[in-house]
Amino acid sequence: METQASSGSSSRTDLPQMEPPRPEGLDLVEDGKQLSVTMKWWRIHALFLALFTIFWCAITGSIVIEILVKGHYSELLFLGVHAGAAVALAYYTLSLWLNSTRIAVEDAMLVVSHGPLPWRGGKSIALAQLDQLYCTEEHGFSMHRWPQQSTLTCSLKAVVEGRAITLLSGLPDRETALFLERRFEQQIGLPDRRVPGELPH
């Protein structure tokens, strides 16, 4: 979702840049003008979720087989919701095991991608359009926590040609969000200016 950024951002006083410590779980690769940080989605709760998913899919599959064997095809309509939930849960669980999020500066672009399994939220922004990076904290859902209930999570956001957009949401903690903000500001050469509502440094 995009929102209009505060018009007062351009008049804020520049803050001194400091080399941020790298949190655990981030793979950083730097090569001249290019920088990439990769975060794996896997956490310990993915193991328990995998066991639950196997149980759910096994029960749903056995019911579907029984219906097909008995020829009661009309009952499949009532099972559609459960089968759909099983497929969605299986895809989500596989994503936790296989996927990573990558944010990178390359070829004069800031790129956010998730994979190898397709997932929403990918972005490509020309560095020339990027005015500011900042972090916020709000209620939301995080890939790194289970069960999936609303909790305080952090987001990395950008001001792009005067508009604020979310680059990454559901980050596990403030340290990760602030590291990404400061490290990519340094790489891109953006001054660290205060944005109303941002996480304090």
**pLDDT score, position 153:** 83
pTM > 0.85: yes or no: no
CA–CA distances in Å: residue 198 to residues 48, 77, 157: 34, 48, 9
Q: Taking 50 as the threshold, does the pLDDT of residue 2 lie above it?
A: no
Sequence spans of domains, the chain: 3-41+102-188, 45-96
For 12, list phi and psi in degrees, rounded to 5.
-75, 155
Across all residues in the chain, what is the average pLDDT? 82
The residue ranking higher by pLDDT, 9 or 105, is 105
Separation of CA 40 from chain center: 10
**Residues β-bridged to residue 9:** none
Q: pLDDT tens digits, residue range 53-109?
A: 999 888 888 888 888 887 777 777 777 777 888 889 899 999 999 999 999 999 899
Q: What is the number of alpha carbons within 13 Å of residue 118 lying toward its C-beta?
A: 0
Cα separation, 198 vs 165, whole angstroms: 13
> What is the rounded average pLDDT of the residues 186-196?
87
pLDDT band at 136 (very low <50, low <70, confident <90, very high): very high
H helices of the chain, in order, are: 45-70, 75-98, 174-188
- Which tops the pLDDT comparison, 92 or 13? 92
Tell the residue number behind the tokens 């840049």, with chain if given: 17
pLDDT at 22: 81
DSSP 8: G
> SS3 for 152-172, per residue?
EEEEEEEEECCEEEEEEEEEC
